[in-house]
């Protein structure tokens, strides 16, 4: 069922279904809640699953100024609205940046933290320059051509060849739920985010790392360099998988998430 809460005076929406321990799945850039559709359909049989559209995406209105921290506050407001005191937060890429900001501010509410193709490290100077170029490209040519040129850094080469309809679906979903203004706001928010490796070094709950070896958005060296930081980590590394492992190997993702959430509950 869809629910809408007041997020700083704007509508903030999330999908929720299932019963039991709470799990929140946070989408990344150029995505909405539906990127987690396979995981939602699987996990709802075991857990209470909550899947927001981040502010500026789909049913959730953009809030300004938008930051990774303001999106973490939106996640907190969902917990308040749902009277949830313990949650496992799973974030894909930008959703992982949001989950880390939440973990920094509300560690006592966490049961586990999952980073799918994400990193606690900040943008390098080179990455920031790339984002500035992307913002110019979005403003000049619009979202569709920007999303299309992004595909090689999102999906592994073999998957792009074999799964053309799924790739087209990904583009159409990104165009339906995103806006130019929102995409630029996300890029600015990501550029401004601080280093959160200290969060991983001090976190008290298990951390899941899901890493595709062909990920070009969060390259494997970056992703791997952080897996040693938490006290307890569950690390999953996939050959021939890019940035979109949650779609590329969704069945494996479902099982990994199911086991991780059960493990976090056991450890808490």
For ligand MLT, the binding residues (CB under 6 A) are 28-29, 93-94, 190, 217, 243
Residue 72 or 264 having the CB closest to ligand MLT: 72
Backbone angles phi, psi at 48, to 5 degrees: -90, 110
To ligand MLT, the closest distance from the beta carbon of 187 in angstroms equals 8
To ligand MLT, the closest distance from the beta carbon of 72 in angstroms equals 15
Q: Are strands 48-52 and 10-17 parallel, antiparallel or unpaired?
A: antiparallel
To ligand MLT, the closest distance from the beta carbon of 105 in angstroms equals 20
Instruction: Please report how the helices 180-192 and 125-141 are oriented relative to each other, as an axis angle in degrees rounded to 10.
Output: 170
215, burial (CB in 10 Å: exposed 0-12, middle 13-18, buried 19+): buried
Residue 67 or 93 having the CB closest to ligand MLT: 93
Distance from CA of residue 198 to its chain's centroid? Answer: 19
To ligand MLT, the closest distance from the beta carbon of 32 in angstroms equals 12
CA–CA dist 243, 83 (Å, integer): 33
Helix, coil or strand: residue 249: coil
Residue 190 or 227 having the CB closest to ligand MLT: 190
CB 90 within 8 A of CB 114: yes
Residue nearest to ligand MLT (CB): 28
Beta-bridge partner residues of 16:
50
Residue 29 or 159 having the CB closest to ligand MLT: 29
Residue 41 or 151 having the CB closest to ligand MLT: 151
To ligand MLT, the closest distance from the beta carbon of 8 in angstroms equals 22
């Amino acid at each position: 069922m869809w629910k809408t809460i007041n997020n700083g005076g704007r509508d903030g929406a999330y999908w929720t279904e299932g019963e039991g321990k709470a799990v929140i799945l946070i989408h990344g850039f150029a995505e909405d809640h539906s990127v987690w559709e396979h995981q939602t359909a699987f996990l709802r049989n075991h857990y209470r699953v909550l899947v927001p559209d981040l502010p500026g995406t789909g049913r959730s209105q953009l809030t300004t100024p938008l930051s990774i921290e303001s999106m973490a506050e939106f996640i907190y407001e969902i917990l308040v609205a749902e009277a949830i005191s313990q949650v496992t937060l799973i974030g894909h890429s930008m959703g992982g940046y949001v989950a880390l900001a939440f973990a920094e501010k509300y560690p006592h509410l966490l049961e586990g933290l999952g980073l799918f193709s994400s990193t606690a490290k900040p943008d390098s100077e080179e990455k920031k320059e790339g984002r500035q170029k992307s913002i110019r490209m979005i403003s000049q040519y619009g979202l569709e051509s920007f999303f299309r040129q992004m595909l090689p850094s999102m999906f592994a080469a073999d998957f792009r060849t074999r799964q053309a309809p799924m790739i087209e679906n990904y583009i159409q979903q990104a165009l339906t739920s995103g806006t130019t203004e929102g995409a630029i706001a996300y890029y600015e928010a990501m550029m401004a985010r601080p280093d959160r490796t200290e969060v991983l070094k001090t976190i008290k709950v298990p951390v899941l790392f899901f890493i595709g070896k062909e990920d070009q958005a969060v390259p494997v060296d970056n992703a791997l360099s952080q897996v040693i930081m938490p006290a307890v980590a569950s690390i999953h590394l996939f050959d021939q998988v890019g940035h979109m492992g949650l779609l590329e190997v969704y069945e494996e993702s479902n099982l990994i998430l199911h086991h991780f959430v059960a493990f976090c509950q056991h450890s808490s």
